[in-house]
Amino acid sequence: MALPHLLLLAFSLLFAVATPIRDITDVCSSQIKDFQHRNSTGLHLELHHPRSPCSPAPVPADLPFTAVLTHDDARISSLAARLAKTPSARATSLDAGLADSLASVPLSPGASVGVGNYVTRMGLGTPATQYVMVVDTGSSLTWLQCSPCIVSCHRQSGPMFNPKSSSTYASVGCSAQQCSDLPSATLNPSACSSSNVCIYQASYGDSSFSVGYLSKDTVSFGSTSLPNFYYGCGQDNEGLFGRSAGLIGLARNKLSLLYQLAPSLGYSFTYCLPSSSSSGYLSLGSYNPGQYSYTPMVSSSLDDSLYFIKLSGMTVAGSPLSVSSSAYSSLPTIIDSGTVITRLPTSVYSALSKAVAAAMKGTSRTSAYSILDTCFKGQASRVSAPAVTMSFAGGAVLKLSAKNLLVDVDDSTTCLAFAPARSAAIIGNTQQQTFSVVYDVKSSRIGFAAGGCS
Ligand SMILES: *[C@@H]1O[C@H](CO)[C@@H](O)[C@H](O)[C@H]1NC(C)=O
């Protein structure tokens, strides 16, 4: 075992002991018990904002917003690397033990999984224990930190999953179909341990990754359970933020939670990402189709597991931006739950920035903040922001509130929560907050409805 890893482990242990139990404030007391509810329409889970004090695994409250933006940029880079088909973890040829092999994973601790991702709970094992998990539409494999953490685990909220204490746990052999399916789910090669257990490598850019044993066990949400759920039992986990135990993948791939639950719940899910300390939801199963406006999922040869859609126009205070209509689709566009700031094709971004600044003439401009260059004095809830809409092919529209448009970067500054895109445009979560967003994979469409949560 490498020395830095040992130090890290010692450090985490120290912290686990030294960290005082967080006071549950009045704001959160009604939400301590996350609901996990199954009824005729499907499975309903509670979602928390990553920086909400009510989250069961909040990102540290003193994390400066520049750090959030840095991690957001790392997420963009990893999505871009996916599209360019350049895996961000190095392929390793593993045939010794996991511990030996992991010494060759050339990554240093980072921290980007979960800075922008919303959080829920998932039960695993028999008897079931609940784990705090980040929810990610931009990746497929579900994994969590797993005892004995051969190389490294971060401190997490609640106990670590211990395969030995679950009577239904089994590791997955190298010849299993699910082991062959791993590369399409993680975009990294799988490997095989000396005891013939399949090893996965999931990586997220900015040196965040999880490596461990492909496993199966009973997954449960409230009283609903599913045996033989395939997931990763992480023995080397770097960059998991907050105190989550792991990640739930919701992308379009056989190994994602969506696909594994689909035989009983169907190929669709709906979420509402809350903007604040109140809670939102993630529902797997059917939905009420009448309340949404839809845009088709676009298939892309770049990556068939991410959710591509087509942005078709934007207005500011009722006027279309002064760009050609082809500018909106000059880059492939992904809708993503874990990216904080929406990235637009450069010409669209510039036109938006100009139009918003013009509409906010009465508000003092202030200097750029990290990647955000259109900033104003004040807070999003206080300034008078123009009405902005984002339209998508087929007629779906997001009518952005001031809080979907602007993000408060400190106590006295608010910035346009958009930035220029590099290789792909991304519809990020600031813009999706409070809308119900349905991902109907079966009908190949994404729908938006206002007023899903607060
Ligand atoms: C199912 O549960 C969800 C979440 O609690 C609720 O919003 C929905 O109305 C319920 N549907 C039915 C048909 O009971």
The per-residue DSSP string of 65-86 comes to HHHHHHHHHHHHHHHHHHHTT-
Q: The pTM is what?
A: 0.89
pLDDT tens digits in sequence order for the chain, 454 residues long: 333 443 333 333 333 333 333 444 455 654 446 678 899 999 999 999 888 888 888 777 778 899 889 888 888 888 887 888 765 444 343 333 454 444 444 333 334 566 788 999 999 999 999 999 999 999 999 999 999 999 989 889 899 999 999 999 999 999 999 999 999 999 889 999 999 999 999 988 666 889 999 999 999 998 889 999 999 999 999 877 678 999 999 999 999 999 999 999 999 999 999 998 888 999 999 999 999 999 999 998 888 999 999 999 999 999 999 999 999 999 999 999 999 999 999 999 999 999 999 999 999 999 999 999 999 999 999 999 999 999 999 999 999 999 999 999 999 999 999 999 989 999 999 999 999 999 999 999 999 999 999 9
Query: Based on the number of CB atoms within 10 Å of its own CB, is 73 exposed (0-12), middle (13-18) or buried (19 or more)?
Result: buried
Side-chain-side CA neighbours of residue 24 (13 Å): 10
Residue 37 Cβ contacting ligand 1 at under 6 Å: yes
> Which pLDDT value is given to residue 98?
53
Cβ atoms of 343 and 422 closer than 8 Å = yes
Q: Closest ligand 1 atom to the C-alpha of 39?
A: 1
Q: State CA 226 to chain mean position distance.
A: 23
Contacts of 358 (CB under 8 A, 6+ apart): none
Residue 41 Cβ contacting ligand 1 at under 6 Å: yes
Distance, CA of 110 to CA of 240 (rounded, Å): 8
Query: Based on the number of CB atoms within 10 Å of its own CB, is 152 exposed (0-12), middle (13-18) or buried (19 or more)?
Result: buried
Cβ atoms of 92 and 101 closer than 8 Å = yes
Distance, CA of 377 to CA of 187 (rounded, Å): 43
What ranges do the domains of the chain cover? 14-284, 289-449
Residue 286 Cβ contacting ligand 1 at under 6 Å: no
Residue 408 tokens, joined:
């408060």
SS3 category, 8: helix
Q: How far is the CA of 41 from the centre of ligand 1 (A)?
A: 7
Identify the CATH number of the domain defined by range 14-284.
2.40.70.10
The secondary structure of residue 90, as a DSSP letter, is: P
> Which pLDDT value is given to residue 174?
96
> Which pLDDT value is given to residue 77?
82
Please report, for residues 78, 88, 194, 239, the alpha-carbon distance to residue 204 in angstroms, rounded to integers and kept in the order given.
6, 7, 26, 9
Cβ atoms of 59 and 51 closer than 8 Å = yes
Q: Do domains 14-284 and 289-449 have the same CATH topology?
A: yes
Exposure b/e, 324-334, CB count within 10 A at least 16 = b: eeebbbbbbbb
Q: Closest ligand 1 atom to the C-alpha of 40?
A: 13
The protein residue whose alpha carbon is closest to atom 1 in ligand 1 is: 39
Residue 44 Cβ contacting ligand 1 at under 6 Å: yes
Q: Which helix (H) or strand (E) holds 447?
A: strand 445-449
Q: Which helix (H) or strand (E) holds 123?
A: strand 118-124
For 289-449, CATH number out of 3.60.20.30, 3.40.1590.10, 1.10.10.10, 2.40.70.10 equals 2.40.70.10
> Which pLDDT value is given to residue 241?
67
Q: How far is the CA of 37 from the centre of ligand 1 (A)?
A: 8
Q: State CA 417 to chain mean position distance.
A: 18
Cβ atoms of 73 and 207 closer than 8 Å = no
Cβ atoms of 202 and 190 closer than 8 Å = no
Phi-psi region of 196 (alpha: psi -120 to 50; beta: other; left: phi over 0): left
Q: Which helix (H) or strand (E) holds 201?
A: strand 198-203
Residue 40 Cβ contacting ligand 1 at under 6 Å: yes
Q: How far is the CA of 363 from the centre of ligand 1 (A)?
A: 43
Query: In terms of Cα–Cα distance, which of 198, 294, 206 is closest to 255?
Result: 198
Show the DSSP H helices in 205-319 as ranges: 257-265
Q: How far is the CA of 297 from the centre of ligand 1 (A)?
A: 26
Q: State CA 150 to chain mean position distance.
A: 26
Residue 254 Cβ contacting ligand 1 at under 6 Å: no
Distance, CA of 293 to CA of 398 (rounded, Å): 9
Residue 47 tokens, joined:
């979602």
Pocket-testing residue among 35, 39, 272, 283, ligand 1, by greatest number of atoms within 8 A of Cβ? 39
Residue 399 Cβ contacting ligand 1 at under 6 Å: no
The protein residue whose alpha carbon is closest to atom 9 in ligand 1 is: 41
